[in-house]
Amino acid sequence: MGNKDSIVICRCEEVTYGQLRKTANQHQCTARELKLRTRAGMGFCGGRTCRLTLDSIIESVIPNVSPSEIPLKYQPPVRPVTFGTVGEKQ
C-alpha cells in the first residue's frame, strides 16, 4: 500500500489513519477526544484492535505524554442476546 493515510485503523467504524492524524493535529486532542470525534475504538470490538495505534498517534501529536495519561479503556465485546432469552422464566 503506497498511501499510509488510507489504511483503515478502526475496522469496526472504518476510520483511517489519515482521519485520525488530521483530527489529532487539528484539535490537539486527548485520546478520549480523538475517540469521540472519530468514533475509533467505539465499535463492536471496543478498541481491542485499534487502541495501540490510537495511543501512538496521540503520543506523536502531544509531546511528553505518558501512557498513564491516555485514559482509554478496553471494552470486552458484548454477545448479542435475543429478547426471548432475556425474558425466559427459570
pLDDT tens per residue across all 90 residues of the chain: 458 889 999 998 999 999 998 998 898 877 788 888 999 988 888 888 888 888 888 788 777 765 555 555 555 556 677 777 777 666
> 3-state class of 22 per DSSP?
helix
Question: What is the predicted pLDDT for the residue at 77?
Answer: 55
- pLDDT of res. 1: 45
Based on its alpha-carbon atoms, the radius of gyration of the chain, rounded to whole angstroms, reads 16
* Distances 26 to 7, 23, 45, 66, 74 between C-alpha atoms, Å: 19, 5, 27, 21, 25
Grid cell, residue 81, equals 442476546
Q: Where are the beta strands (DSSP E) in the chain?
A: 8-10, 15-16
C-alpha of 15 from chain center: 9
pTM: 0.67
pLDDT in the model for residue 19: 92
